[in-house]
Structure 1
Amino acid sequence: NLAYNCFRDSLHCALLGVSVFLSDVEDNDGGFCIVPGSHKSNFPMPTEMIHGDKYSEFIVQPKIEAGDVVLFSEGTVHGSLPWNNPKRQRRSALYRFAPATNSYGRSYFRHEEEDGVCRWPEKMYENLTDAQRAVLE
C-alpha cells in the first residue's frame, strides 16, 4: 500500500523513499525527478505523464549537490529523467523504508500464482540459502 493518508489530524505514510546523492546534479542534467504534492492526489498518474507526452510542467528535477538527501513518500510520483551530462556520471543510493507489516516491490515481477497472490517465481528460489529465502518471503 503506497497510501499517504491524513486521518484525525495525523499523517500516515506507509512507505518512505530516501535518495542519497553521491554526485552533483545541475539544472537539466536529468536524473531524479518528482511531482511535488502528487502523494495527496488520490488519483492514478495520467498515462501521458508516464510517457512524457503531457504535463511536463509539473515535473521537477531538483538541483542537487553531492551529499544531499531527499526524502519522499513512495506514493509521490517520482522517477528518473534521461541523463544529459556526459561530463559526469549519475551516482545515488536509494533506500526504501516500510513498516514490518508491509512489503515493497512485488508489483515489479508481476507473477501471480493460481490462488491470485503475487509471489516470486519458483525459479528465483533455486540455489538460495534459508536466510536468502527468508528475505524474499
Structure 2
Amino acid sequence: MDIGDVVTAIYKTGKYIGTITDERPEHYTVQILAVEKHPLQGDLHHPKQGNVGFFHERKALAFKEQANIPKKMVKPFTGKVPNYTESLVKSFIVYKQELEQNPENEYAQKSLQCLSSIQKEYEFMYSISFPN
C-alpha cells in the first residue's frame, strides 16, 4: 500500500476508513475519514468485562485525526467513503443497540453509562442529534 491509498484500519477496538499519509517501518499513519465500528468501552486487557480496576471511556477517532497503526491492522478499502458524522452516528447506534440486548450484564451497563456521556460530547462537537 502507498501514501494516498484509502484503507480500513483497526485502532485499539475501533475500525475506521482513512487515507495513508505516511509510512514507517512497522506502521502507517492513517488520516481518519469515517468510522466503521465504534470503539468498545472498558479495559483493553479485559474485554467485555465490567468488574475491572478502571473502566475506560473511549470515543471514536475524530475526523481527519491521524493515528499510527500497525501495518498488519491496515487493509485496502474499496467502495465509497461514507460521510464521517453519518458513519459515527451509525456505528455508535449499532454498538449501543448491541449493549442494550443484555441489560443485566455489568459490562453492558457500564458501557451504556460511558456512551451516554460520549453521546453528549458528540452532539456538541459535531452539532448532531441521535435518534431516541
Q: TM-score, normalised by structure 2?
A: 0.27
Which structure has more RCO (C-alpha within 8 Å, separation ≥ 6)? Answer: 1
Q: Which has the higher helix share?
A: 2
